[in-house]
Amino acid sequence: MTLAVSRSYTYKDLSQTSVVDLVIQAQSGDRNAQEQLYCRFQQHVLSIAYKRLGNWDEAQELSQDVFIQAFRRLDQLQVPEAFGGWLRQIVHRMAINRVTRRPKPISVDHEILEATITCDSDPLDAVLSGEQKMQVHQGLNRLGDLDRKTLVAFYLDGQSLNQMSRSFEAPIGTIKRRLHVARKRLAKECEMLQAV
């Protein structure tokens, strides 16, 4: 003899329940009521999000975020009849926040990008460039300590004048003068190296 055990589930059929009753039940923590509200308003929220964002994936993601936000703050809704309008306000506000905070997309036409890329260097250019770098480094090594440190800080380390002013403990005007003088001295050293 087999004994059949019937299980009773606590799931309630809320498909015929009014939105007002669903909101009240959801405010008291009823997950089934929240699910029913989600089912009824999900497409509406998704369409508003898509109209605002213009991107289907972002609209779906925003739709999920909207419902999470709405159900977290559902206890703040004092008039259950206003649920639909309240939800729309959340969608609009969150969509605006998302649009203003996302980085602006940068698009470049592939053909334009290819047209701007040029590889006009030949082996002679590479050799000359290498020699110039070597001369600059040799010229830097022949400079006085303060001139070399000033040029290295500004051109190689990328320090700003303010940073250099603090690290050298000198006014900005002095730093500018040192850079000017050090560049002239480096140019002379490089000329002498080329003459040799």
pLDDT tens-digit readout, 84-115: 999 999 999 999 888 888 766 666 666 666 66
pLDDT tens-digit readout, 121-173: 566 566 567 777 788 888 888 889 999 898 888 888 888 889 999 999 999 99
Give Cβ neighbours of residue 25 (< 8 Å, ≥ 6 apart).
14, 17, 32, 33
Rounded-to-integer distance, Cα 70 and Cα 73, Å: 5
Which residue type, as a one-letter code, is found at position 123? P
The pTM of this model reads: 0.46
User: Residue 55 has what pLDDT?
Assistant: 86
Which domains does the chain show, CATH number per domain? 19-101 (1.10.1740.10), 123-195 (1.10.10.10)
Mean pLDDT over residues 21-26, rounded? 90
Lowest-pLDDT choice from 49-53, 70-74, 127-131, 176-180? 127-131
